[in-house]
Amino acid sequence: MKKETQILTTFDLNKEQQERLRKVAEGVKLTVIPTSDPAAIPAERWAEAEVLYTWDVLPEPDQAPNLKWVQFGSAGVDPYLSSPLLQRKDLLFTSMSGAITSQIAEYVLMALLAFGHKLPELMRNQAEHRWPEQKTLWQDFLPVELRHSTVRILGYGSIGRQVARLLQPFGAEVLAAKRDVMNPEDQGYTPEGMGDPHGDFFTRLYPLEALHSLLAASDFVVVALPLTEETHHILNAEAFEAMKATAYLVNVGRGALVDEGALVAALKAGKLAGAALDVFEQEPLPEGSPLWDLENLILSPHISGLSHHLQEETLILFEENLNRYLAGLPLYNQVDLKKGY
C-alpha cells in the first residue's frame, strides 16, 4: 500500500488550489489551516505533517517528528535562521526564490527611471505650484539615460537576473556581482521567459570582494543580496565614499545591507545623488528616523514584492517542488544554513 504524504499549509488556499495539490499524486493528503499562530494548529496536525508549506509558522522540533521538508513562502529566510526547527539536520528547507521576482524587478526599474528622469524634483515642483526657470531647465532636469548608464547589480540571484533582463531593451551596461563567479548560470527556480538562467545579460561578473572598484564607476547601484554576516552593512561609509556623487542606490534586498547612518550622512553631504529604499534595518521605520526628511530619498514600506499574482506564482513553485520531492529529485532553492540563504 502506497504511503500517504501528509502536507500541512498555513496559507489560505482556495478550493481550486487545494485540488491541484491533492492531484499532484495519489496519496497526497492536504490539511489547510490559515493562521499566523503556531498555537492555532492542533498537536495531531503537527505530529502527522511530513511537508509544511508556510510563510513563517514553525513548530517546535519535537512537535513535528515526521516533518521532512519545509517550503517557505518567502525568498529570504534570514528571519527564521534562529528558529530551533532549523537546527534539525534531518530537514530540507526551501525558499521561494524565483517566484517573487518579476514585481520586485519592476520596482527597481521604476526607481531607476524615476531618478534618471528627475521625478522626485518634478513632484516637488508640482506640489509647490512652481514652474522652474527656463535658464535652469538643462541644469536641473537633464536626464540620466539608461542607454548611456552603467548599472551595477549586487547579488545576481533571481531578482538581480530579472532586473538585468528588463534592462536589456534600454541598452544599459550591466555589471553584476555574486559570491560564486565561477558558476554564472542560475541553479535555482526560474520561470520560463524570466531571469537570466544562462548568464547572458551582464557584461562582466565580479566577486563581491571587488565591491569598491565596482561602485567607483556606477551610475546606478541595485542591491539584491541576501543578508548574512558577510553582507551586513556591506554598503557603509567606505562604500559610499567609493561611489560617484552622481550615482543612485536602490535597495530591495534587506535593510541591514545598508548602514543607514552612513547613507544619511552621504546623502546630506552630496556624496550620493539619491537612494530608493524598500527595506530598512527597523520596520516599521521609526517616526524619528532622519530618512523620512531627505528630499533625495524614495521610501516605500517593504512593498516591492506585492502582487495580485503572488499566491498563484508561489503555488506553482511549490507544486513543482512537490513533484520533485515525491519523485526523489533535488528540490529547487534548497537553503544552505551555513550560507544563510
DSSP state of 42: -
Tell me what pLDDT residue 2 has. Answer: 55
How far apart, in whole angstroms, are the C-alpha atoms of residue 258 and residue 231? 9
Kindly state whether residues 269 and 318 are assigned to the same domain: no
Kindly state whether residues 89 and 173 are assigned to the same domain: no
Kindly state whether residues 161 and 254 are assigned to the same domain: yes
Residue type, 299: L
Kindly state whether residues 15 and 137 are assigned to the same domain: no
Residue 296, C-beta contacts closer than 8 angstroms, at least 6 positions apart: 120, 267, 272, 273, 274, 275
Kindly state whether residues 243 and 276 are assigned to the same domain: yes
* Residue 283 is a catalytic residue: yes
* C-alpha cell recorded at residue 235: 554598503
Kindly state whether residues 279 and 318 are assigned to the same domain: no
Q: Is the pTM of this model over 0.75?
A: yes
Tell me what pLDDT residue 1 has. Answer: 40
How far apart, in whole angstroms, are the C-alpha atoms of residue 102 and residue 11? 21
How far apart, in whole angstroms, are the C-alpha atoms of residue 162 and residue 77? 20
Kindly state whether residues 127 and 95 are assigned to the same domain: no
Tell me how many domains the chain contains: 2
Kindly state whether residues 122 and 47 are assigned to the same domain: no
* C-alpha cell recorded at residue 46: 503537527
Q: What phi and psi values does residue 45 have, to the nearest 5 degrees?
A: -70, -45
How far apart, in whole angstroms, are the C-alpha atoms of residue 282 and residue 335? 24
Domain span including residue 11: 5-99+308-327
Kindly state whether residues 288 and 224 are assigned to the same domain: yes
Classify residue 337: in a domain, yes or no: no
From 19, 60, 230, 283, the catalytic residue: 283
From 161, 254, 260, 281, the catalytic residue: 254
Classify residue 132: in a domain, yes or no: yes
Classify residue 274: in a domain, yes or no: yes
Kindly state whether residues 71 and 12 are assigned to the same domain: yes
Which pLDDT tens digits describe the chain residue by residue (341 residues)?
458 999 999 999 999 999 999 999 999 999 999 999 999 999 999 999 999 999 999 999 999 999 999 999 999 999 999 999 999 999 999 999 999 999 999 999 999 999 999 999 999 999 999 999 998 999 899 999 999 999 999 999 999 999 999 999 999 999 999 988 998 999 899 999 999 999 999 999 999 999 998 899 899 999 999 999 999 999 999 999 999 999 999 999 999 999 999 999 999 999 999 999 999 999 999 999 999 999 999 999 999 999 999 999 999 999 999 999 999 999 999 999 988 89
Kindly state whether residues 145 and 234 are assigned to the same domain: yes
Question: In this structure, are residues 151 and 222 in contact, taking their beta carbons and an 8 Å threshold?
Answer: yes
3-class secondary-structure state, position 214: helix
Burial 226-241 (b: 16+ CB within 10 A, else e): bbbeebeebbbeebbe
From 88, 232, 302, 324, the catalytic residue: 302
* Residue 161 is a catalytic residue: no
Classify residue 339: in a domain, yes or no: no
3-class secondary-structure state, position 275: strand
| Helical residues (DSSP H) of 1-72, grouped into ranges | 15-22, 43-48
For cell 522652474, what's the residue? Answer: 132
For cell 510563510, what's the residue? Answer: 55
Classify residue 92: in a domain, yes or no: yes
Any idea what the CATH number is for the domain that residue 32 is in?
3.40.50.720
Kindly state whether residues 109 and 247 are assigned to the same domain: yes
Classify residue 118: in a domain, yes or no: yes
| Helical residues (DSSP H) of the chain, grouped into ranges | 15-22, 43-48, 102-116, 119-127, 137-141, 158-167, 211-216, 237-242, 260-268, 310-327
- Positive or negative CA dihedral for 252, 310, 319, 8? positive
Classify residue 178: in a domain, yes or no: yes
Tell me what pLDDT residue 149 has. Answer: 98
Tell me what pLDDT residue 3 has. Answer: 80
Write the DSSP string, 141-194.
Answer: H----GGG-EEEEE--SHHHHHHHHHHGGGT-EEEEEES-TT--S--S---TT-
Tell me what pLDDT residue 217 has. Answer: 85
Classify residue 125: in a domain, yes or no: yes
